[in-house]
Structure 1
Amino acid sequence: MAKFEEIKQGTIFPIGEKNEAFAHYFTGQSYLQTLVADEAIDVGVATVSFEPGCRNNWHIHCNGYQLLLVTGGEGWYQEEGEVAQSLKVGDVVATHDGVKHWHGAKKDSWFEHIAITAGTPEWLEAVADDWYQAL
């Protein structure tokens, strides 16, 4: 069975559509399924799925935070100045206000997480291909 089918069958929530709205902030293909988008609630909740090798750009959450609940595959998370952290199903990451970071799939694995996000993201440069490939 293809990895994509394994991810789709193993998820609690739908995998979502191709993440075209934010594609310019990602290297590779990601998918987005909004779970909570209520203007009366100051937090967004979404499932983000990454094809192997896909990752988002470095970014900062301004006046907020981001919680990542890993629900599928294997991935990476890194804060600026720190060593990249390997992620697997069941891991939880808390990113505090103003911390520059990125996250995404490993080269050979799909990756999926639920993102609980408050504040406004400031998107920055892409993670360098040569650096990522060396992980």
Structure 2
Amino acid sequence: MNKEEMIKDLGKEVFPIGNENIEYAQYFVGDSYLNVLSMEGVIIGNVTFAPGCRNNWHIHHGGGQILLVTGGTGWFQEWGKQPRKLKTGDVVHIPAEVKHWHGAASDSWFAHLAIEVPGDNKSNEWLEKVSDEEYNNLNK
């Protein structure tokens, strides 16, 4: 599916999709796109995932993250907890220091705004990939 078909699949485009997420591609399985909407005060990025794309397990140190789902169907999971299926309009609050991952369902594009919660000494720690076995079991 090309970018135009993806936009149609997601529905009305709320924010521009952005460019291929080359800067963080090593931390994703599959294709993703990133459009940084704000770097002032609060960092906000529009992240779009192709079907089957997900990011690695990771931790936001010093400040958490809020996800606002703007299109498609996806997944979110905190370490040690059951995965949560996400749809347009869902909000996910991720506290600092919580290991987690998020990404698209296998059969849907997925888009969310990623809002960085302000904090001190902020950094992201990128960890292992979500295994194909773990991920494929979600999409059965």
Q: In structure 1, what is the equivalent of residue 136 of structure 2?
A: 133
Segments of structure 1 that go 5 or more residues without pairing to the other structure are none
1:26 to 25, 28, 32: 28
Shift of the 85–3 alpha-carbon distance from structure 1 to 2, 3 Å rule, reads farther
**1:1-20 map, 5 Å:** 3-7=5-9, 10-20=12-22
Structure 2-normalised TM-score? Answer: 0.89
Given that 2:10 and 2:71 are in contact with CA atoms closer than 8 Å, whether structure 1 keeps it comes out as: no
Is 1:122 the equivalent of 2:125?
A: yes
- Given the superposition, is the C-alpha separation of residues 123 and 129 from structure 1 closer, same or farther in structure 2, using an over 3 Å criterion? same
Secondary structure of the corresponding residue to residue 48 of structure 2: strand
Paired residues of 2:10 and 2:72 also in contact (CA < 8 A): no
Paired residues in the alignment total 132
Partner of 1:108: 107
SS in 1 for 2:63: strand
Partners of 2:14 and 2:80 in 1: CA distance: 34
Moved more, 92-101 or 118-127: 118-127
Structure 2: unaligned runs, 5 residues or longer = none
The structure with the greater share of residues assigned to strand is 1
Q: CA deviation at 1:5?
A: 3.2
**Aligned 8 A contact 2:10 2:109 in 1:** no
- Bigger drift between 5-14 and 75-84 goes to 5-14
Q: 1:31 to 1:70 in 2, by over 3 A?
A: same
CA distance in 2, matches of 1:3, 1:99: 35
Q: Distance in 2 between matches of 1:129 and 1:28?
A: 12
Aligned to 1:48: 47
| 1:102-126 per-position Cα deviation (integer Å, ceiling 9, x unaligned) | 0000000000000001432110000
| TM-score for the superposition, normalised by structure 1 | 0.93
When the two chains are superposed, the root-mean-square deviation of aligned CA atoms in Å is: 1.6
Contact 1:69–1:90 (8 Å) recurs in 2? yes
